[in-house]
Structure 1
Amino acid sequence: MLGLSYFSFADLWSPLFLAAILLLIAGYFVVIGPLSGKFPGSGPVSLWQRLLFVSGIIALYLAQGGPVSLLGHIMFSFHMLSMALSYLVAVPLIMLGIPEWIWRALLKVNPLRRLSFLAHPVVAALVFNGLFSLYHIPAIHDYVMLNFTVHRLYYLVLFLTAGLMWWTLINPLPERRMASGLGKIGFIFLNMVLLTPACGLIIFADQTLYATYSDPDTWAQAMGYCVSGDPAVLLQNFGGPTFFGLMSPKVDQQVGGIAMKFIQEIIFASMLAYVFYHWYKKENGQDDAEVSGSPSEVDGGHLTRA
């Protein structure tokens, strides 16, 4: 299927990355279990949260170490699927799976506190979407794909900035919230708008933009970082990425842009409905959890009484 039978188990499943992923999951369960008593205010973690964390880690593995990652070096549409899984699916699921008491412990680390300005909603949205759009400028994309260290570092930075972007929407700490319900709605629309130019460039381009998916030599060099053996053998055996393609490079490119925008729209539309529902309940005095008692909210980074 899709030419996967031509590649080895190691090429498809990245055993070292899989081992790292399994260790990360094991570490999570150790922290929320035997080591939880070392965290102030710790408590039991629900089964739902555990499932969210594990699901997010699995999504990240499939996108960056599993078959989707390999196919992302062959077809641009799968590259964009990998992007969506990594930063629009895996990141929020992982964050939702981390309990409040771990977040409070993490945010006490001094280097993180000094970088807190990056979590400001507008800054976070501009940084993540800016880096994502910059990456998909053809010359930059091909350079990153052909330089292994730069590739890994850029993806790590995208992962971290995606976390900063999602923090505005799924921050579980009432004392650190920087946006009201209406502010979150505006933030969602801002993210939807900021990603549109990059997707539009890809969808409506009248030619193939990326040598990685159209030039056989460039493709073979990029593939050399994710498969074993001599990249020259790939050229001898397959001739280039079109051997595996279900569609022409141009159509594949358009499908990738559409898929990225479509997935983003679905995810943010779902988040918009969720935020609007709870904001509406609060505004109408129906959200007892927030209306009763004496809640505190963050306004511009300073605690104020509601």
Structure 2
Amino acid sequence: MLGLQYFSFTDLWSPLFMAFMLLIIGGYFVVIGPLSEKFEGAEHVSLGQKVLFVSGIAILYLAQGGPVSLLGHTMFTFHMLSMALSYLVAPPLVMLGIPVWLWRAALRVNPFRRLSFLASPIVAAVLFNGLFSLYHIPVIHDYVMLHFTAHRLYYLILLITSVLMWWTLIRPLPEEKGISSLKKIGYIFLNMVLLTPACALIIFAKEPMYATFSDPNAWAKAMGYCTSGDPSALLRAYGGPKFFNILDTTVDQQVGGIVMKFTQEFIFASMMGYVFYNWYKNENNNDDEQVLPRMEPADQNISQR
């Protein structure tokens, strides 16, 4: 299916990365379990939070080390799916799965306190969406995909900036002063708008933009970072990415842009609906809880008569 049968278990599942992610999950359960008594204000972590954390880590693994990652090197559609899962789906799940007392302990020893301004709403939104859009400029995208160190570093920076972008909406620390519901809606809308130009550029392109999905030699070199063996053997065996792509290269590129934009729109539209619902509910509760005016002494005398 989609050519996965041509690759080994190691190529498909990246055992080293799998082990690393399992260590993170194991460390999480050790910290919230046996070691929790060492943290000030530690409380029981609900099953829901545990499920959210493990789900977020699992999604991040599938997107960056599992079959979705490998398919992201053969079809642009899966590349964009991997990006959406990595930066729009996994981070909020992981953040919601971390208990408040653990966030407090982690931030207490944060060596980057002077860079806290990066988490401010406007800066975080511009940083993440700007870096994401910059990455999909063809010359930059192909350079990052063809240079292993740049690839890992850029993806790590994107992950960090996505966490900063989500911080305003998740607000892990309840004691932090958050923005109003109206500003949250504006913030969500800002993120939706900022990503639109990059997606539109990809969706409406009339020809392939990225060498790593159209040039056999560039594709083979990029594949060499996620598969074992000699990349040139891929060329001899399959001839290039078209062997695996079930769509025309340009159509695949357009579908990828649609997948990214649709995923973002769905997630942020859902978040906007949630924020608006809570805003509406709180406004109604405030109206219902208005205190009736007290009776003046004269009124009390009249009532006694």
Give me the TM-score of the superposition, normalised by structure 1: 0.92
Equivalent position of 1:27 in the other structure:
27
Identify the residue that residue 150 of structure 2 maps to in structure 1.
Answer: 150
**Alignment correspondent of 1:169:** 169
- Percent identity (aligned): 73
Moved more, 102-111 or 194-203: 102-111
Deviations 1:144-172 (A, max 9, x none): 00000000000000000000000000113
Distance in 1, matches of 2:240 and 2:214, equals 8
- Does residue 194 of the first structure (1) align with residue 194 of the second (2)? yes
Mapped contact 2:95–2:172 kept (Cα < 8 A): no
1:124 and 2:119 equivalent?
Answer: no
CA shift at 1:287, angstroms? Answer: 11
The residue that corresponds to 1:245 in the other structure is 245
Q: How do 1:1-306 residues align onto structure 2 when only pairs under 5 Å count?
A: 1-285=1-285
Per-residue deviation, 1:207: 1.0
Say which is worse superposed, 12-21 or 167-176, in terms of deviation: 167-176
Q: Where does structure 1 differ by over 6 angstroms across 4 or more consecutive aligned residues?
A: none
User: Which secondary structure state, in structure 2, belongs to the residue aligned with residue 176 of structure 1?
Assistant: coil
1: CA distance between counterparts of 2:113 and 2:283? 32
Q: Is the 8 A contact 1:77 1:253 kept in 2?
A: yes
Gaps of 5+ in 1: 292-306
1:134–1:140 CA contact under 8 A, matched in 2: yes
Is contact 2:171–2:178 with CA below 8 Å preserved after alignment? no
Distance 1:272 1:177 in 2: 19
**Structure 1 position 179, deviation (Å):** 1.2
Aligned partner letter, 1:30? V
Q: Which residue of 1 is the match for residue 298 of structure 2?
A: none
Task: State the superposition RMSD in angstroms.
Answer: 1.4
Distance 1:163 1:183 in 2: 19
Measured after TM superposition, the shift of residue 286 of structure 1 is 5.6
Q: Which residue of 1 aligns with 2:294?
A: none
Q: Deviations over 1:183-203 (max 9, x none)?
A: 111100000000000000000
Paired AA for residue 30 in structure 2: V
The TM-score normalised by the length of structure 2 is 0.93
Q: How many residues align?
A: 289
**1:106 Cα shift?**
1.4
